[in-house]
């Protein structure tokens, strides 16, 4: 059991952002294989979308006991087409010999105060040849009252993620997503200065900005965006 309670109230809002989750899946799905550990699974909306890339199995790790219970009940009501288990707790709750082919942090690492220690600990549970994937909000210059309200300690860029590289892993890929959202953030500081976006704003972002970003991100070479993705590889070979 965990005493942690997630402070944010945005999970239900962003659960409606289906275009964003599909776009994210299209860009990171190739890294998700074999046995998967998702750290901070929340309500499971990202879980359900990423499971569609058909890994072998999926383990959801969620430190908020209430959210873990909701997630387990949701998966029982509407199961996905692969083995899934839900573990209440943090990376420290795993058995020492637990190993995964892919470990995923989607909009989670920014909530963890000791982020470097977190990734180093996660790397110990990565199988030889395995992949560590982090998706996080980009650019500290965009840090807003919304970030603070939902428990973010920071935002990231390429350099910040490289600095977190766990011992024994190498950086395989770094790229940005949502270039239109990034550009609009500077033109619409009124949006960033709110403690919580409205459902209408989320829908405009998801239906208009995300769709435009699918095209523009390619034009920018995935070098501009409001979200940053980091991928590390464990190059050790299985014995």
Q: What is the mean pLDDT of residues 34-61?
A: 95
Q: What is the pLDDT of residue 56?
A: 96
For residue 45, pLDDT over 70 is answered with yes
pLDDT in tens, 206-230: 999 999 999 999 999 999 999 999 9
Q: Among 92-106, 137-151, 158-172, 205-219, whose mean pLDDT is lowest? A: 137-151
Q: Give the distance from CA 1 to its chain's centroid.
A: 23
Q: What is the pLDDT of residue 189?
A: 55
Q: What is the mean pLDDT of residues 164-175?
A: 97
Residue closest to 118 by CA, chosen among 175, 157, 161: 161
Architecture in CATH for domain 11-234: 3-Layer(aba) Sandwich (3.40)
Q: What is the pLDDT of residue 218?
A: 97
Q: What is the mean pLDDT of residues 168-196?
A: 81
User: Are the C-beta atoms of residues 22 and 211 closer than 8 Å to each other?
Assistant: no
Q: What is the pLDDT of residue 239?
A: 47
Task: pLDDT band for 183, please (50, 70, 90 cuts).
Answer: confident
| Helix locations, 78-207, DSSP H | 115-123, 145-149, 158-163, 179-187, 189-192, 199-204
pTM for the model stands at 0.92
Biggest CA–CA distance in the chain, Å, is 55
For residue 6, pLDDT over 60 is answered with no
Q: What is the pLDDT of residue 194?
A: 60
C-alpha angle 103-56-93 in degrees, rounded to nearest 5:
40
For residue 234, pLDDT over 70 is answered with yes
Question: Which has more pLDDT, 192 or 219?
Answer: 219
Q: What is the pLDDT of residue 24?
A: 98
For residue 69, pLDDT over 50 is answered with yes
- Report domain extents, the chain: 11-234
pLDDT in tens, 77-103: 999 999 999 999 999 999 999 999 999
How far, in Å, CA of 239 to CA of 66, rounded?
40
């Amino acid at each position: 059991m965990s005493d942690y309670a997630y402070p944010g109230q945005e999970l239900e809002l962003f659960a409606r952002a289906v275009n964003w989750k599909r776009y994210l899946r299209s860009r990171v799905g190739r890294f998700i294989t074999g046995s998967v550990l998702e750290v901070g699974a929340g309500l499971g909306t990202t879980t359900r979308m990423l499971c569609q890339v058909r890994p072998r199995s999926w383990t959801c790790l969620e430190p908020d006991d209430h959210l873990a219970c909701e997630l387990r009940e949701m998966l029982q009501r509407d199961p996905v087409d692969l083995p899934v288990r839900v573990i209440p707790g943090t990376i420290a709750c795993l058995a020492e010999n637990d190993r995964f082919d892919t470990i995923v942090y989607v909009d989670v690492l920014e909530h963890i105060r000791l982020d470097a220690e977190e990734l180093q600990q996660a790397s110990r549970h990565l199988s030889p040849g395995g992949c560590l994937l982090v998706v996080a909000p980009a650019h500290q210059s965009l840090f807003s009252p919304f970030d603070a309200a939902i428990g973010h300690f920071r935002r990231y860029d390429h350099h910040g993620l490289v600095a977190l590289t766990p011992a024994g892993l190498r950086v395989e890929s770094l790229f940005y997503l949502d270039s239109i959202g990034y550009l609009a953030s500077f033109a619409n500081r009124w949006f960033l200065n709110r403690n919580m976006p409205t459902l209408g704003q989320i829908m405009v972002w998801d239906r208009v900005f995300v769709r435009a970003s699918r095209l523009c991100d390619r034009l920018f070479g995935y070098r501009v965006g409001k979200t940053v993705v980091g991928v590390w590889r464990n190059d050790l070979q299985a014995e």
